[in-house]
Structure 1
């Protein structure tokens, strides 16, 4: 079974059954094809040993092990690969948050991802505490979350802040946001092959959009495979009739470039 199919099989399960450690680690398999995903999971198992509560988790990850945010090379692909974050002890908010969630889960600590615009967070439902894994696992209340939101997005006082900007997100949504971040890096680096990889993984998740499919086709075409891109669009138009019109229009545009 190839990686894309294995990923698709894992994320097709009910959300609560998605193995977030394994699926997050698999995102790195394109650039690190020899990656041992089981070893990544075992590393997180070891981190959880002896952790009893949120305070202990924060001490283990951010004091003892020294995990922190990557500021010097924020847009490097390695920041989106869980195994490289573990190795380097550096990452971006969402991968560090996944690490905290998954080590916490192994220690019996219930944590949830919070999809705040501009900066991903973690929350402990039982206490209501927000955790900023990028800034050393600091605890935040809603007022501090608002300050972080405004700093991250540049939103001024005219933009209202409410709990609606602190939504709990599913495991599939966490993976989608990880892939969106990585896709942005590949776009900036003009890496069409890397972008194709992230979009194929993205399309295995729920809530497929026409824009995702069109971007995949464009990434394929950018590698000199325009006819493959057209076939891709036509296949998606067949299985997603509600998206057929924009997909067929894009296919015609690609065909016109070939003539």
Structure 2
């Protein structure tokens, strides 16, 4: 298990296969699970998309083909009824239940499209995640959580208007998508009073995305709560190695100075 996560932390960004990586991140919570049936399901989705989308050339046609296969044939949908269920951010459970969060469903949409060589990206939108199909110049934007409904300019503008300020939508790097997937689980675990479960997920994050300082910070915070002072010191020190931001470095240094001595 740790070998898979360590390997994921070492591979180049462009070499990360989102659906395969998300399965690896979920596996520690399903000890003894054979991933072969899940790989078979992903392959079956690819095969069907290849058939249904054989003549799909434009982004709109490819978005329609993806919806026809993933929603129409395989039944993947957003879980609006039990949105905060941790299973919605666990790809093994998502494949079992055919229900998920915006980020987990977006992983399936993007990964399946990329299997055919189609251009697809996960988009970071305030409070939500969308998918762009096609090139950056003229993509079609869809919402996998609502069955692949097209997101037009007006709705996108409304989503991007937060607190009176307009923010810009951007494609998420592969590791950032996986961090977002685990972050969903970690935040819900902590809200449920399961601090050690949250810590376990932050450890998973820092293993597969060691250059993301936020995960190290949250890991250190929970290690302090759990009285793991030496571990917290190591996590904060790791942050100092990866960030050059002066304000963040000052914050980390202050936190290190505040730790009790052995």
Q: When the two structures are superposed, what TM-score results if normalisation uses the length of structure 1?
A: 0.82
Aligned to 1:109: 118
- Structure 2 residue matching 1:34: 3-state secondary structure: coil
C-alpha separation in 1, matches of 2:254 and 2:185: 27
- Give the direction of change, closer, same or farther, for the CA distance of 1:37–1:110 in structure 2 (3 Å limit): farther
C-alpha separation in 1, matches of 2:174 and 2:243: 27
C-alpha separation in 2, matches of 1:131 and 1:244: 39
- Structure 1 residue matching 2:132: 3-state secondary structure: strand
Aligned to 2:255: 250
Aligned to 1:30: 28
C-alpha separation in 2, matches of 1:231 and 1:172: 22
The answer on whether the counterparts of 2:18 and 2:111 sit within 8 Å (CA) in structure 1 is: yes
The answer on whether the counterparts of 2:190 and 2:198 sit within 8 Å (CA) in structure 1 is: yes
Unaligned runs of 5+ in 2: 57-61
The answer on whether the counterparts of 1:44 and 1:102 sit within 8 Å (CA) in structure 2 is: no
Residues 137-188 of structure 1 deviation map (CA, whole Å, 9 limit, x = unaligned): 11122222223455xxxx36x3336xx2x21121112112212222211221
- Give the direction of change, closer, same or farther, for the CA distance of 1:13–1:230 in structure 2 (3 Å limit): closer
Q: When the two structures are superposed, what TM-score results if normalisation uses the length of structure 2?
A: 0.81
Unaligned runs of 5+ in 1: none
Residues 75-105 of structure 1 deviation map (CA, whole Å, 9 limit, x = unaligned): 1211111111111111110100001111222
Runs (4+) of structure 1 exceeding 6 A deviation are: none
Alpha carbon RMSD of aligned pairs, Å? 2.6
Match of 1:119 among 114, 117, 128: 128
Q: Alignment length, in residue pairs?
A: 245
Matches within 5 A, 1:84-163: 84-126=93-135, 128-149=139-160, 155=162, 158-160=164-166
Match of 2:172 among 152, 169, 172: 169
